[in-house]
Chain A
Amino acid sequence: MAEPSHIPHEFTACPDCDLLLQTAQSDHTLEGRCPRCKAVLWHAAKHTDTVSFAAAISGLILFYPAMTLPILKLKMVGQHGSNSLLGGIYRMWLEQEQILAVLIMLCSLLAPLLHLLLTAVVCFSVRFNHYPRHFPLWIKYKCLMQNWNMLEVYAMGVIVAYVKMMHDGEVTVSAGTYCLSALLLCVILCSQYFHEEQAWQHWEKNKPA
Chain B
Amino acid sequence: MSISAQQRGIARCTECGKLSHLPELGHDATAACPRCNTALNFRKPQSLQRSWAYTIAATALMIPANILPILTVISFGQGDPDTIMSGVVKLWVADLQAIAVIVFIASIAVPVLKLVILVILMLVVQCQLPLSRQQCTILYRFIHFIGRWSMLDLFMISILVTLVHLGNIATVESGPAATAFAAVVVLTLFAANSFDPRLIWDLDND
Which residues of the other chain, A, contact B154 by a CB distance below 8 angstroms? 100, 103-104
How many of chain A's residues have a CB under 8 angstroms from any CB in B? 61
Which residues of the other chain, B, contact A60 by a CB distance below 8 angstroms? none
Q: In the bound complex, do residue B163 and residue A136 qualify as a contact, i.e. CB atoms below 8 Å apart?
A: no
Contact of A200 among B36, B163, B170, B174 (CB under 8 A): B36
Closest B-chain residue to A77, C-beta based? B169
What separation, in Å, do the CA atoms of A164 and B12 have in the docked complex?
A: 47
Q: In the bound complex, do residue A167 and residue B94 qualify as a contact, i.e. CB atoms below 8 Å apart?
A: yes
Q: In the bound complex, do residue B4 and residue A92 qualify as a contact, i.e. CB atoms below 8 Å apart?
A: no
What separation, in Å, do the CA atoms of A17 and B10 have in the docked complex?
A: 13
What separation, in Å, do the CA atoms of A149 and B170 have in the docked complex?
A: 32
B40, chain A: closest CB distance, angstroms: 12
What separation, in Å, do the CA atoms of A11 and B17 have in the docked complex?
A: 11
Contact of B91 among A12, A15, A164 (CB under 8 A): A164
Q: In the bound complex, do residue A97 and residue B152 qualify as a contact, i.e. CB atoms below 8 Å apart?
A: no
Question: Is A65's beta carbon under 8 Å from chain B?
Answer: no
Which residues of the other chain, A, contact B6 by a CB distance below 8 angstroms? 18
Q: In the bound complex, do residue B152 and residue A157 qualify as a contact, i.e. CB atoms below 8 Å apart?
A: yes
Contact of B35 among A82, A91, A99, A136 (CB under 8 A): A136
What separation, in Å, do the CA atoms of A196 and B13 have in the docked complex?
A: 13
Question: Is B202's beta carbon under 8 Å from chain A?
Answer: yes
Question: Is B5's beta carbon under 8 Å from chain A?
Answer: yes
Contact of B174 among A80, A97, A103 (CB under 8 A): A97
A162, chain B: closest CB distance, angstroms: 9
Which residues of the other chain, B, contact A80 by a CB distance below 8 angstroms? 166
Which residues of the other chain, A, contact B202 by a CB distance below 8 angstroms? 18
A118, chain B: closest CB distance, angstroms: 14
Closest B-chain residue to A166, C-beta based? B96
Q: In the bound complex, do residue B169 and residue A92 qualify as a contact, i.e. CB atoms below 8 Å apart?
A: no
Contact of A81 among B99, B155, B163 (CB under 8 A): B163
How many of chain B's residues have a CB under 8 angstroms from any CB in A? 61
Contact of B134 among A12, A15, A37 (CB under 8 A): A37
Q: Mark A11-24, 1 if CB is under 8 A from B, else 0.
A: 11101111110000
Given A16-B197, A153-B155, A160-B156, CB of A88 within 8 Å of CB of B166: no
Q: In the bound complex, do residue B103 and residue A13 qualify as a contact, i.e. CB atoms below 8 Å apart?
A: no
Q: In the bound complex, do residue A76 and residue B169 qualify as a contact, i.e. CB atoms below 8 Å apart?
A: yes
What separation, in Å, do the CA atoms of A81 and B140 have in the docked complex?
A: 42
Q: In the bound complex, do residue A13 and residue B158 qualify as a contact, i.e. CB atoms below 8 Å apart?
A: no
Question: Is B178's beta carbon under 8 Å from chain A?
Answer: yes
Please report which residues of chain A, range 150-203, place their CB below 8 angstroms from some CB of chain B when the two chains form the complex.
150, 153-154, 156-158, 160-161, 163-165, 167-168, 196-197, 200, 203
Question: Is B137's beta carbon under 8 Å from chain A?
Answer: yes
Please report which residues of chain B, range 125-153, place their CB below 8 angstroms from some CB of chain A when the two chains form the complex.
133-134, 137, 140-141, 148-149, 151-152
Question: Is B112's beta carbon under 8 Å from chain A?
Answer: no
Q: In the bound complex, do residue B2 and residue A153 qualify as a contact, i.e. CB atoms below 8 Å apart?
A: no
Q: In the bound complex, do residue A91 and residue B137 qualify as a contact, i.e. CB atoms below 8 Å apart?
A: no
Question: Is A204's beta carbon under 8 Å from chain B?
Answer: yes
Q: Mark B95-123, 1 if CB is under 8 A from A, else 0.
A: 01011001100000000000000000000
Contact of A13 among B12, B156, B166 (CB under 8 A): B12
Question: Is A55's beta carbon under 8 Å from chain B?
Answer: no
Given A13-B10, A99-B179, A200-B16, CB of A19 within 8 Å of CB of B165: no
Q: List 21 A-B contacts (CB under 8 A).
A: A8-B19, A12-B19, A16-B198, A17-B197, A17-B201, A19-B3, A36-B2, A72-B159, A77-B166, A81-B165, A99-B179, A100-B158, A104-B154, A104-B155, A108-B155, A136-B16, A150-B148, A153-B148, A157-B158, A158-B159, A160-B152
Instruction: Tell me the A residues contacting B by CB distance below 8 Å.
Output: 8, 11-13, 15-20, 36-39, 71-72, 74, 76-77, 79-84, 87-89, 91-92, 95, 97, 99-101, 103-104, 107-108, 136, 139-140, 143, 150, 153-154, 156-158, 160-161, 163-165, 167-168, 196-197, 200, 203-204
